[in-house]
Amino acid sequence: MSSTVDVPEAEQQGGGKRTETVETVVVRFCGDSGDGMQLVGTQMTNVSAIYGNDVSTLPDFPAEIRAPAGTLAGVSGYQLCFSNHDIFTPGDAVDTLVSMNPAALKTNIADLKRGGTLIVNEDAFDKSNVAKATYESNPLDDEDLLQPYRVHKVPMTRLTRDAVDGLGLTVREADRCKNFFALGLIYWLYERDATPTEEWIKAKFAKLPHIQEANLRALRAGYNFGFSTESFTVHYHVEPAKLPPGKYRKLTGNEATALGLITAAKLAGRGLFYAGYPITPASDILHELSAHKNFGVKTFQAEDEIAAMSAAVGASYAGQLAVTASSGPGICLKGEAMGLGMIAELPMIIVNVQRGGPSTGLPTKTEQSDLLLSMFGRNGESPLPIVAAQSPGDCFHAVQEAMEIAVNFMVPVVFLTDGYIANGAEPWRIPTTDELKPIKVEHQTEPNSEHGYLPYKRDEKLARPWAVPGTPGLEHRVGGIEKADITGHVSYDPDNHEFMVRLRARKVASIEDFIPEQEVDGPESGDVLLISWGGTYGAVRTAVRQLQTEGKAVAHAHLRFLNPFPKNLGDIISRYKKVLVPELNMGQLRMLLRDKYLVDAIGLNKIKGKPFLVSEVAAAIDELL
């Protein structure tokens, strides 16, 4: 503003360097798990979303909080894709890779596009770190390795120390600011407005003024490095995306699940009770809900997974909208109490944020391998409805639909997400209040027969009434022993048992009349139908659209309701020559589809703890054409 020289605005911003306009960019930050990569990735996501790009993210971090510094096991990465149009995945290949140390370079360089930009902190490439990354010699001297890329060796550690000089920071404190240096450089490279990040730093370190100033300086130093040094000759512009009009915010899947639950309870005018035990990657749901007690949310951090499930069953009996969340190992422990909720016919939500299994498996990596656990993971005939969300923002809506099924049919509902959509973020169009659909919850307050209250007398949906302790005259007992039809008394009668087993199964099956029919993206009939579910939505949708634009007769049905299936699914399947089922497991949905529809469905299965690449799905479809 104070400049008297008339410089074009673009040049002011870019240091007089050439600007290229591009449509979609994939950036990945990677470094040691202590390097703050998740933090800068999140900041970059925020500024890109606020700017108006569509954004999709893939945080990828190790299970160890701090694996030994500099080792391959300790590498943490955050990938984000931002675009001028709507996107469904965080991108297959990386355009710009920021690597903070040799280990990060080693584990990530294979994903960088040929011709892509590689920015490394050359100060971190000392003998010790090079050895820890199992390189025989410094990879920055390896011309064959670096030849395919545009390489920028930046002495980030030294430049950050220089930037914060005079603030009285220890070397360790100074070095912790270098992630903001890297972020500042990327902000310059992609013309990002740093203001939201500056505001965040100011708020975050309000009580530590010298740290606040240091991070602000590091951010600016990084930006200015791109602006003024000759190392960078070009920077990039990505226009805002043309998303549906409305007000937006960034949301992760776990946040969306929590907000969806609060919304469901608030609109239903009931209390929300959440019981959980800390587990990766589900704990953020507990954290988010705990922060909103003023919505009448009661959170209970239980002594174990079994207690969390049991407390949810108790709270449901006591009339609250009860929820528990966990991941695979925890869900295994909950199985018995889920069965209790099932036979007691009480509504509740069991959230499973799926991760790599079996056993402890890959706690921080994504997988879809708990579908069959959700279907069959309890003793006896114990069918439960299953609803799966398809993207981070979708968790908000899908969990409300799950709750609606639960209270309408008096049944526990399994709500499936996965590590990928739970931790991933995307711009989310905030629904206006009148777009939200209240769930109707009714408690029985009067006896429902001349003989008093009959807890297992059913309505036309086969749901039993929900009478809550404290209601005079409706005192009754529930429990895990087989119930006599209508009265709910303990019954060992063989005919009653078969009747009740079939009745409970029929009740769950009849939900197909309650849920919407399955929609298909693409031609009504054709060569290949893809059937997917959960977090693979983005990759499958993008791959199918690609092939559709090439004129191929390929269609896509993405399932939200996995038990029961939408009632038109069999008809849809019969209209295509081949059915391809991409899943991040050994073929669990495929097994269910083959069983129910006797269709020779073909599987595309990946079990690497990573989401599908669009190219992997596209190639599999191509093979079938």
Partner 1 sequence: MSTDLPVLSPKDFASDQEIRWCPRCGDYSILAQMKKVLPTLGIPKEKFVFVSGIGCSSRFPYYMDTYGFHSIHGRAPAIATGIKLAQPGQQVWVITGDGDALSIGGNHLMHAIRRNVDLKIILFNNQIYGLTKGQYSPTSPTGKRTKSTPMGSVDHPLNPLSVALGSEATFVARSVDVDIRHLTATLERAAHHKGTAFVEVYQDCNVFNGGAFKFATDKKVKQDNIVYLEHGKPLIFANGKKGIRVNEGSRPEIVDLDGSVPEDDLLFHDEKVTEPSLAFMLARMRYPEFPEPMGVLRAVEKPTYDEQVNQQVEDAIAEKGEGDLDKLLNRGDTWEVK
Q: Give the CA distances from residue 273 to residues 87, 265, 319, 420, in Å, rounded to whole numbers and listed in that order.
A: 35, 9, 10, 26
Among 10, 372, 468, 484, binds partner 1 (CB under 8 A): 468
DSSP H helices, 424-476, are none
Minimum distance of partner 1 from residue 390's CB (angstroms): 20
Distance, CA of 198 to CA of 207 (rounded, Å): 15
Among 114, 172, 207, 247, binds partner 1 (CB under 8 A): 247
Nearer to partner 1, 196 or 523 (CB): 196
Nearer to partner 1, 115 or 470 (CB): 470
- Mark 515-548 as b/e (b = at least 16 C-beta within 10 Å): beebebebeeebbbbbbbbbbbbbbbbbbbbbbb
Does residue 24 sit in helix, strand or coil? strand
249 counts as binding partner 1 under rule CB under 8 A: yes
250 counts as binding partner 1 under rule CB under 8 A: yes
Nearer to partner 1, 318 or 372 (CB): 318
CA atoms within 13 A on the CB side of 227: 18
Judged by CB under 8 A, the stretch of 21-29, 256-264, 355-363, 520-528 that binds partner 1 is: 256-264
Minimum distance of partner 1 from residue 276's CB (angstroms): 12
Residues 315-354, interacting with partner 1 (CB under 8 A): 315-320, 322, 336-337, 340, 344
Among 300, 537, 561, 612, binds partner 1 (CB under 8 A): 300
Distance, CA of 480 to CA of 421 (rounded, Å): 35
Among 303, 460, 495, 595, binds partner 1 (CB under 8 A): 303
476 counts as binding partner 1 under rule CB under 8 A: yes
Does residue 412 sit in helix, strand or coil? strand
Nearer to partner 1, 50 or 69 (CB): 50
Whether the CA torsion 605, 611, 617, 619 is positive or negative: it is negative
Tokens coding 310 = 């049991």
Among 3, 147, 233, 294, binds partner 1 (CB under 8 A): 294
Minimum distance of partner 1 from residue 6's CB (angstroms): 31
Among 148, 155, 196, 361, binds partner 1 (CB under 8 A): 196
Among 76, 107, 310, 532, binds partner 1 (CB under 8 A): 310
Residues 27-56, interacting with partner 1 (CB under 8 A): 46, 49-52
Nearest Cα residue to 347 out of 409, 272, 273, 268:
409
Residues 422-461, interacting with partner 1 (CB under 8 A): 429-431, 433, 436
| Total residues binding partner 1 (CB under 8 A) | 75
Q: Give the CA distances from residue 596 to residues 224, 528, 599, 600, 620, in Å, rounded to whole numbers and listed in that order.
A: 61, 19, 8, 11, 24
Among 115, 244, 358, 551, binds partner 1 (CB under 8 A): 244
Nearest Cα residue to 253 out of 90, 393, 87:
393
Among 480, 523, 527, 610, binds partner 1 (CB under 8 A): 480
Nearer to partner 1, 429 or 594 (CB): 429
Distance, CA of 459 to CA of 468 (rounded, Å): 17
Minimum distance of partner 1 from residue 417's CB (angstroms): 19
Tokens coding 71 = 């080792």
Minimum distance of partner 1 from residue 450's CB (angstroms): 15
490 counts as binding partner 1 under rule CB under 8 A: yes
Minimum distance of partner 1 from residue 558's CB (angstroms): 24
Going by C-beta distance under 8 Å and a sequence separation of 6 or more, which residues neighbour residue 206? 212
Burial class (CB in 10 A: 0-12, 13-18, 19+), 82: buried
C-beta of residue 299 within 8 angstroms of C-beta of residue 289 = yes
C-beta of residue 485 within 8 angstroms of C-beta of residue 500 = yes
Nearest Cα residue to 181 out of 212, 199, 159:
159
298 counts as binding partner 1 under rule CB under 8 A: yes
Peptide bond between residue 358 and the one before it cis (omega within 30 degrees of 0): yes
Among 469, 550, 577, 596, binds partner 1 (CB under 8 A): 469
Among 442, 479, 516, 524, binds partner 1 (CB under 8 A): 479
Nearer to partner 1, 312 or 395 (CB): 312
Among 69, 167, 267, 503, binds partner 1 (CB under 8 A): 267
Minimum distance of partner 1 from residue 396's CB (angstroms): 9
C-beta of residue 430 within 8 angstroms of C-beta of residue 279 = no
Minimum distance of partner 1 from residue 183's CB (angstroms): 16
C-beta of residue 382 within 8 angstroms of C-beta of residue 339 = yes
Minimum distance of partner 1 from residue 488's CB (angstroms): 11
Does residue 609 sit in helix, strand or coil? coil
Nearer to partner 1, 266 or 552 (CB): 266
Nearer to partner 1, 188 or 317 (CB): 317
Per DSSP bridges, beta strands 386-388 and 561-563 are antiparallel
